[in-house]
């Protein structure tokens, strides 16, 4: 199993995209292994999905580097938050079931948002959306799941002893993922400083490597 130290090997700028793509392939390989070797269950599906998502964000980073700095930062933030969610979800069955319940609530929110616009459209489309809402309620009853709100990232970070890390990272993330004055009036039109990008590259690799380790361990695979 790849160690975190292997995931953060120094690379020259021209080799960074290939390195990130390689890390992404490791995530895909683990997802395939889970699908092929672990009996299908809600948990095994969720673990494989985590792998695919982290791998997808690493692929995005390989495409964004070095020009699309906001894109790189978005992906790093997503990997960081996913790492926190994985830690929380693996901690207890209640946390895992809350994670499943969030999928129901997320889709319900999405459909209700679509209905707000669908009122101007066809009655047939509105009926389809309302039918899906009914199906979600039936799924919740069938699987004894509660419609759950998303986890609060600050709470997850505090729970796993990473509150200081969270505070520091979000001071960095916020200037790029929001239309901040500094981004619009300065950084957006400037050529990115590759040394600053290293902060996000290293953090993304660390959290991706840790996620792979935790998911592998949860499946009983050698770490």
The pLDDT tens digits along the chain (223 residues) read: 344 444 444 568 889 999 999 999 999 999 999 999 999 999 999 999 999 999 999 999 999 999 888 899 999 999 999 999 999 999 999 999 999 999 999 999 999 999 888 766 678 888 999 999 999 999 999 999 999 999 999 999 999 999 999 999 999 899 888 888 888 888 666 766 777 788 899 999 999 999 999 999 999 998 7
Look-up of token digits 């999905």: 49
DSSP for 94-129? HHHHHHHHHHHHHHHHHHHHHHHHHTTS-HHHHHHH
| CA–CA separation, 113 and 16 (whole Å) | 39
Using CA atoms, how far apart are residues 58 and 217, in angstroms rounded to an integer? 21
Q: Exposed e or buried b for every residue in 98-135, given b needs 16+ CB within 10 A?
A: bbbbbbbbebbeebeeeeeebeeeeeeeeeeeeeeeee
On whether residue 146 sits in a domain, the answer given is no
- Strands (DSSP E) contained in 42-97 are none
Q: Output the pLDDT for position 209.
A: 96
- Whose CA is closest to 152, among 212, 218, 98, 72? 98
Please check whether residue 21 lies inside any domain of the structure. yes
- Judge whether 169 lies within some domain: yes
The parent domain of residue 210 ranges over: 15-99+151-218
- What's the pLDDT at 157? 97
pLDDT at 192: 63
Cis peptide before 74 (omega within 30 of 0): no
Domain count, the chain: 1
Residue 7 within a domain: no
Residue 6 lies in a domain: no
Overall residue count recorded for the chain in this entry: 223
- With respect to residue 123, please indicate whether it lies within any of the assigned structural domains: no
140 is a domain residue: no
At residue 191, the pLDDT reads: 66
Asked whether residue 143 is domain-assigned, the answer is: no
Return the number of other C-beta atoms located less than 10 Å from residue 176's C-beta: 21
Q: Which of 9-14's residues contact partners 24+ apart within 8 Å by CB, and which partners?
A: 13/66, 13/194
pTM over 0.75: yes
- For residue 10, the model assigns a pLDDT of 54
């Amino acid at each position: 199993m790849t160690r975190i130290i292997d995931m953060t090997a120094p690379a020259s700028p021209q080799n960074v995209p290939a390195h990130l793509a390689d890390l992404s392939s490791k995530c895909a390989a683990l997802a395939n292994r889970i699908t092929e070797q672990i009996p299908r269950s809600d948990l095994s599906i969720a673990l494989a999905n985590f792998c695919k998502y982290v791998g997808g964000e690493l692929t995005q980073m390989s495409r964004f580097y070095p020009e699309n700095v906001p894109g790189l930062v978005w992906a790093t933030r997503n990997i960081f938050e996913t790492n926190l969610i994985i830690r929380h979800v693996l901690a207890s069955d209640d946390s895992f079931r809350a994670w499943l319940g969030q999928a129901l609530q997320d889709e319900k929110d999405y459909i209700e948002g679509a209905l707000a616009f669908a009122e101007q459209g066809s009655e047939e489309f509105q009926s389809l959306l309302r039918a899906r809402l009914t199906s979600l309620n039936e799924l919740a009853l069938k699987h004894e799941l509660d419609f759950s709100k998303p986890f609060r990232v600050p709470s997850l970070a505090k729970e796993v002893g990473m509150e200081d890390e969270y505070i520091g990272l979000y001071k960095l993330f916020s200037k790029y993922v929001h239309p901040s004055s500094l981004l619009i009036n300065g950084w957006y039109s400037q050529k990115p400083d590759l040394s600053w990008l290293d902060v996000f590259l290293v953090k993304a690799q660390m959290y991706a490597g840790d996620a792979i380790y935790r998911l592998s361990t949860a499946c009983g695979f050698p770490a």
